[in-house]
Amino acid sequence: MTPPPRRKADAEEDSKTSSPPRRPSSGTGMRVIVPLQGLVQGRGGLVLGSVIPCALFYLLQFYLKRHRPSPSDEPAGPIPRTQSRSLLSPRGSSPPASASSRASAIAKASDSPYYAGNDKCSTDAYHAVSNPRGVIQLGLAENQLTLDLVRDWIESNLKESLLGDLQGELSIRGLATYHPFHGLMELKIAVAGFMHQVMQGSVSFNPSQIILASGATPVIENLSFCLGDPGNAFLIPSPYYPGFDRDIKLRTGIELIPVPCRSTDGFSLSIAALERAYTQAKKRGVKVRAVLVSNPSNPVGNLLSRETLYDLLDFVTEKNIHLISDEIYAGSNHGNGQFISVAEVVEAEDFDRSRVHIIYGLSKDLSLPGFRVGVLYSYNETVLAAARKMARFSSISVPTQRLLVSMLSDSKFIAEYLEKNRERLRKMYALFVDGLKQLGIECANSSGGFYCWADMSKYIRSYSEKGELELWDKLLNVAKINVTPGSACHCIEPGWFRCCFATLSERDIPVVMERIRSITESCKVNH
Amino acid sequence: MGVLSRIATSDGHGENCSYFDGWKAYDNDPYNPVDNPDGVIQMGLAENQLCHELMEEWVKKNPTASICTEEGASKFKDVAIFQDYHGLPAFTKAVAQFMEKVRGGRVKVNPDRIVMSGGATGAQELMAFCLADPGEAFLIPTPFYPGFARDFCWRTGVKLLPVECKSWNNYKVTRAALEAEYEKAEKANIKVKGLLITNPSNPLGTMMDRETLRELLVWINEKKIHLVCDEIFAGTVFSGEEFISVAEVFQEDPQSYDENLVHVVCSLSKDLGMPGFRVGIVYSYNDAVVRCGRRMSSFGLVSTQTQHLLAAMLSDDEFMSKLMVENAKRLSERHEKFTSGLAGVGIRCLESNAGLFCWMDLRRMLKEATVEEENKLWRVIIAEVKLNVSPGSSFHCSEPGWFRVCFANMDDETMQEALGRIRAFVSRVNEVEKKKKKKRWEKGLRLSMPKRFEEMSSMTPRGIMSPHSPLVQAT
């Protein structure tokens, strides 16, 4: 999944990072009171005693929801001096038009540590030579280990300007005019071939079921617009990628319901937990429209087994909902497990395919987040038709598409690249996890992605989100390491941290470990 | 299969109207001078292809701008991993410079207020998301670009309320019309959040004068609603007065207006003819909107490869000046040729000095001034004359009989071919009219529409759909 962009710290946002930021609120859904014990036990005499207060409570909730003070009554931003003039006009009693409530909420919401840490990094980035005391970025899941291979390919294959390439004459007319917004057919064909290679030949992808967009971020948003109305929900195993909170909730009005996974299960998905979450949502009157899983998962790096995929497909079929499989790290599987795409299972067995949708992109496996290439692969014709129309809001630049057609069609290069990439990831992962082990920090078993999921719970003062954020803050501001705390990923067990290692070089690892040691030592002393 | 959302299954995308049906007719039977000389000529797409060879030359001469070359590849790594939604600093600076140039250097553009998005389409949607909640509305003068229904309303839930403008006063937006529509909305309990204008206008090709822009700013300030000005055609002004941006009027006297209410949308798709690059810009004087918009721009960031190329091209001042002068010259020539060709057969166009199209007056060809008659005529033009033009009703024009015709998306020969077909068609219609008059004179009876005309209107080429076609499978 494309990580959120690094942002230049505004003066405002800087002040927020100095104190541990609050976790963003999880929404304003109604709380349901399960009828009291008396009712459940069928003792009618207690009906009045339990139902009436419940009814009153519901009514209160309704009233409050309806009459919540409108955010549009408050002006957005600082009050400009010219406002005084408008107050003198004959119709001066109405309040000034502010931004939408969406915009106001975004402007006011405190940033999660995920974004705050990234901000800090961008203003004080570590560099071995020029800024050795800078902040080391372990919070952005980027892979720079194999970028040199891509650059070399470009140098040796595109000798002329962007107008000339392997496929012969290109004029700017071919680049600059309007094209299908959901992607050039040549690129879709090339992407289908690339995905086939990434998944090691296990699935053949049909180019006409592909919609391209400028990054996996708009892909997931477009798909959400297609699958759910405002107020509907998706179930999502937690911990999950913090960016989903923005990608899915920001403009679509769809809720994300976390389904907690536990360290005792290796953070693997439990269908029983899904079932519970579904039932609870139903009780609250919330319609669940889909289950969203990441495979390999982020932040843990787990792979979904074939059995779990079968169970998932059974579950969504039974509930008549969709399954969204975010497989953006499919090619970054460096461990011993075997990656199995939901496409492989769906094509082999007799499942209803129209409820299955896959998200992919080039930001992770090909290390090109800047180019903005995201893929939606769906078996549902209506979703494809709607997503095609939505594609014009987030279309990929045509010159970039042309460049990538050449690159992705070079299957020999891609095979070599994927192999080398896995190798380098494997090596770096081993070094990093080993380094942490020597500090007494164990990592969850993981196979994929650019990160490890580290258990630092023994170093937090209180076994709570507060304790975790205190440790996070120390790591960021004292040790100058930016990691992502589990609470930002909605993990219910405090003390877990995601550490990304694919932007480091080998010689950076001892530096990182030393810095972490300085904090863990001081925490040991305090215990 | 699982249930789908209302957005996915409704017609809110607005693509089932004659504007888009014409495109489909073209897609099914596209004109080609060699392979398909009887095909439909595309005159419904406002694209500017007049200066492409100049840009091509520039790209060839500047290999470092494109990271896809030996010379440029050293920048590759930095560009490939950069995904900050502020954009490459060189890019926003170059875009600011370009915007200033288009506005004659009379506007100061601050690169820090530039928010990028996926084309102007994405920019308009972003504006709607930032400024209004579902159910709220924006006023919009007619006629207006049909795509706004999709861009501004489809996924945002915001409404557009048309404010009628008439041809007799050159479609000027009057305070009275705005007030009337505003009050109507108030009575219907619809909250009006802003006014959306396009300047230069699509489909009219006319510009607003300083006085009108000032009046609009005053009015929105009184009502305390937003003003979103789509200036996507600013760089296509080819004759007459210079373009005046709402930003210019605002900056002349900023104390008089609330800066939090003023926003501009533009892109590189029309001015420079680069729709394939997908560069949309939101420029707002409202800090909260800039902050919020920037976060939302993650949904439509411009590829850094493109940003890198454009940063170099747009800051090449000498080249850009030359390009814009040449662009204006070629547009002017093309416009002149086309409108005089039309005038030669008695077809008048609204006087205009901007845009990639003209607003053609075919009212005299309608039997009655109704939308049905306009649609009949439109179907004849597609089927018989084989030109895709866009009927005024698709632009919500209140007076039937006007058509938008684009002329900048083709070469000279194709344009001559189009004019030839129009001449032939008009003379046929005139013939039919003469015969009709003669018969009436002879028989003293009022006859119904001549048989030939009826035949023409019922003829359908393969694949054409009615203006009310159901949800269509997109290409």
pLDDT digits (tens, 9 = 90+) for A477-517: 999 999 999 999 999 999 999 999 998 889 999 999 999 99
Residues of B identified as active-site: 145, 230, 232, 270
Q: Is B470 in CB contact (< 8 Å) with chain A?
A: no
**pLDDT for A387 beyond 60:** yes
Interface of B with A in 304-323 (CB under 8 A): 304-306, 309
Determine whether the interchain pair A82/B259 forms a contact, defined as Cβ–Cβ distance below 8 Å: yes
Comparing CB atoms, the residue among A214, A354, A385 nearest residue B1 is: A354
The pLDDT score that the predictor gives to residue B422 is: 92
Q: Which of A19-23, A253-257, A330-334, B187-191 has the lowest mean pLDDT?
A: A19-23
State what percent of residues in chain A have pLDDT above 70: 76
Q: How far is B67 from chain A (nearest CA, A)?
A: 8
Q: Average pLDDT for residues A437-443, to the nearest whole number?
A: 94
Chain B positions in Cβ-Cβ contact with residue A122 (cut-off 8 Å): 84
Chain B positions in Cβ-Cβ contact with residue A97 (cut-off 8 Å): 131, 193-194, 223-226, 261
pLDDT band at residue B443 under the 50/70/90 scheme: low
Closest residue in A to B291 (Cα) is: A107
Determine whether the interchain pair B305/A370 forms a contact, defined as Cβ–Cβ distance below 8 Å: yes
Determine whether the interchain pair B292/A102 forms a contact, defined as Cβ–Cβ distance below 8 Å: yes
Determine whether the interchain pair B261/A97 forms a contact, defined as Cβ–Cβ distance below 8 Å: yes
pLDDT band at residue B451 under the 50/70/90 scheme: low
Determine whether the interchain pair A403/B305 forms a contact, defined as Cβ–Cβ distance below 8 Å: yes
Which string of DSSP letters, residue by residue, matches B374-438? HHHHHHHIIIII-EE-EEGGGGT-SSTTEEEEE-SSS-HHHHHHHHHHHHHHHHHHHHHHHHHHH
Q: Average pLDDT for residues A375-383, to the nearest whole number?
A: 96
DSSP-derived secondary structure letter, B152:
I
The pLDDT score that the predictor gives to residue B55 is: 82
Interface of B with A in 138-177 (CB under 8 A): 150-151, 155-156
The pLDDT score that the predictor gives to residue A336 is: 86
Q: How far is B446 from chain A (nearest CA, A)?
A: 49
**Type of residue numbered B166:** K
pLDDT digits (tens, 9 = 90+) for A133-192: 888 888 888 888 888 888 888 777 765 545 544 334 445 555 656 678 899 999 999 999
Determine whether the interchain pair A172/B56 forms a contact, defined as Cβ–Cβ distance below 8 Å: yes
Chain B positions in Cβ-Cβ contact with residue A289 (cut-off 8 Å): 2-3, 5
User: Exactly one of A326, A365, A455, A473 is catalytic; which is it?
Assistant: A326
**Chain mean pLDDT for chain A:** 81
The pLDDT score that the predictor gives to residue A49 is: 65
Q: Average pLDDT for residues A283-288, to the nearest whole number?
A: 96
pLDDT digits (tens, 9 = 90+) for A215-257: 999 999 999 999 999 999 999 999 999 999 989 998 999 999 9
More confident residue, A500 or B453: A500
The pLDDT score that the predictor gives to residue B64 is: 78
Comparing CB atoms, the residue among A163, A227, A251 nearest residue B296 is: A251
Comparing CB atoms, the residue among B60, B260, B279 nearest residue A77 is: B260
CA atoms of B315 and B91, how far apart (whole Å): 9
The pLDDT score that the predictor gives to residue A157 is: 78
The pLDDT score that the predictor gives to residue B43 is: 87
Which string of DSSP letters, residue by residue, matches A432-474? HHHHHHHTT-EE----BSSEEEEE-GGG-SSSSHHHHHHHHHH
Q: What does each C-alpha distance from B252 to B95, B96, B230, B286 come to in angstroms?
A: 22, 19, 19, 17
Comparing CB atoms, the residue among A8, A89, A385 nearest residue B473 is: A385
Q: Average pLDDT for residues B356-364, to the nearest whole number?
A: 94
Q: How far is B170 from chain A (nearest CA, A)?
A: 30
Determine whether the interchain pair A251/B129 forms a contact, defined as Cβ–Cβ distance below 8 Å: yes
Determine whether the interchain pair B68/A101 forms a contact, defined as Cβ–Cβ distance below 8 Å: no
Q: Average pLDDT for residues A258-268, to the nearest whole number?
A: 95
**pLDDT for A46 beyond 50:** yes
User: Exactly one of A115, A241, A278, A429 is catalytic; which is it?
Assistant: A241
Which string of DSSP letters, residue by residue, matches A160-224? S-TT-BTTB---HHHHHS---TT--HHHHHHHHHHHHHHTTTS-PPPGGGEEEESSHHHHHHHHH
Q: What length does chain B have?
A: 475
User: Exactly one of A188, A249, A319, A364 is catalytic; which is it?
Assistant: A364
Q: How far is B463 from chain A (nearest CA, A)?
A: 19
Closest residue in B to A214 (Cα) is: B300
CA atoms of A261 and A281, how far apart (whole Å): 17
The fold of the B8-51+321-428 domain, in CATH, is: Aspartate Aminotransferase, domain 1 (3.90.1150)
The pLDDT score that the predictor gives to residue B204 is: 96
Measure the N-to-C terminal CA separation of chain B; round to a whole number of Å: 23
How many alpha carbons fall within 13 Å on the CB side of residue A54? 14
Determine whether the interchain pair B2/A320 forms a contact, defined as Cβ–Cβ distance below 8 Å: yes
Q: In the β-sheet with A374-378, what is the strand arrangement from edge to edge?
A: A210-213, A374-378, A356-361, A322-326, A288-294, A233-238, A255-260
Q: Which of A142-146, A431-435, B342-346 has the lowest mean pLDDT?
A: A142-146
Comparing CB atoms, the residue among A229, A230, A389 nearest residue B13 is: A389
Determine whether the interchain pair B292/A103 forms a contact, defined as Cβ–Cβ distance below 8 Å: yes
Q: Which of A312-321, A394-403, B100-109 has the lowest mean pLDDT?
A: A394-403
Q: Which of A39-53, A198-212, A509-523 has the lowest mean pLDDT?
A: A39-53
Determine whether the interchain pair A230/B84 forms a contact, defined as Cβ–Cβ distance below 8 Å: no
- Contact partners, residue A43, CB within 8 Å, separation at least 6: none
**Chain mean pLDDT for chain B:** 87
Q: In a mutagenesis test of the B interface, which of A161, A234, A321 is the best target, namely the one with the most B β-carbons within 10 Å?
A: A161
Q: Which of A45-54, A309-318, B10-19, B390-399 has the lowest mean pLDDT?
A: A45-54
Determine whether the interchain pair B299/A370 forms a contact, defined as Cβ–Cβ distance below 8 Å: no
One of 1.20.1540.10, 3.40.50.150, 3.40.640.10, 3.30.470.20 is the CATH number of B52-316, namely: 3.40.640.10
Based on the residue annotation, tell me whether A326 is a catalytic residue of this protein: yes
Q: Is B466 in CB contact (< 8 Å) with chain A?
A: no
Comparing CB atoms, the residue among B156, B300, B473 nearest residue A214 is: B300
Comparing CB atoms, the residue among B82, B130, B473 nearest residue A100 is: B130
pLDDT digits (tens, 9 = 90+) for B363-414: 999 999 999 999 999 999 998 899 999 999 999 999 999 999 999 988 899 9
The pLDDT score that the predictor gives to residue B430 is: 84
Comparing CB atoms, the residue among A226, A251, A396 nearest residue B303 is: A396
pLDDT digits (tens, 9 = 90+) for A58-108: 677 666 666 554 444 333 333 333 333 333 333 334 455 677 877 777 666
Determine whether the interchain pair A150/B302 forms a contact, defined as Cβ–Cβ distance below 8 Å: no
The pLDDT score that the predictor gives to residue B81 is: 76
Determine whether the interchain pair A3/B275 forms a contact, defined as Cβ–Cβ distance below 8 Å: no
Closest residue in B to A357 (Cα) is: B2
| Residue A447 near residue A302, CB atoms below 8 Å | yes
- Contact partners, residue B218, CB within 8 Å, separation at least 6: B256, B257
Q: How far is B398 from chain A (nearest CA, A)?
A: 28
The pLDDT score that the predictor gives to residue A163 is: 52
Comparing CB atoms, the residue among A5, A96, A393 nearest residue B298 is: A5
Q: What does each C-alpha distance from B156 to A39, A42, A376, B131, B137 come to in angstroms?
A: 43, 47, 22, 10, 11
pLDDT digits (tens, 9 = 90+) for A10-44: 333 333 333 344 444 444 444 444 444 544 454 55
CA atoms of A480 and A127, how far apart (whole Å): 12
Instruction: Supply the ipTM of this predicted assembly.
Output: 0.82
Determine whether the interchain pair B277/A372 forms a contact, defined as Cβ–Cβ distance below 8 Å: no
Residue spans per domain, chain B: 8-51+321-428, 52-316
Determine whether the interchain pair B118/A394 forms a contact, defined as Cβ–Cβ distance below 8 Å: yes
Based on the residue annotation, tell me whether A278 is a catalytic residue of this protein: no
Q: Is B81 in CB contact (< 8 Å) with chain A?
A: yes
CA atoms of A150 and B77, how far apart (whole Å): 9
Determine whether the interchain pair B132/A322 forms a contact, defined as Cβ–Cβ distance below 8 Å: no
The pLDDT score that the predictor gives to residue A230 is: 94
Q: How far is B127 from chain A (nearest CA, A)?
A: 10
Chain A positions in Cβ-Cβ contact with residue B471 (cut-off 8 Å): 385
Chain A positions in Cβ-Cβ contact with residue B80 (cut-off 8 Å): 147, 150-151, 367-371
**pLDDT for B463 beyond 80:** no
Bridge partners, residue B159, by sequence: B137
The pLDDT score that the predictor gives to residue B110 is: 97
Interface size between A and B, measured as CB pairs under 8 A: 319
Closest residue in B to A388 (Cα) is: B474
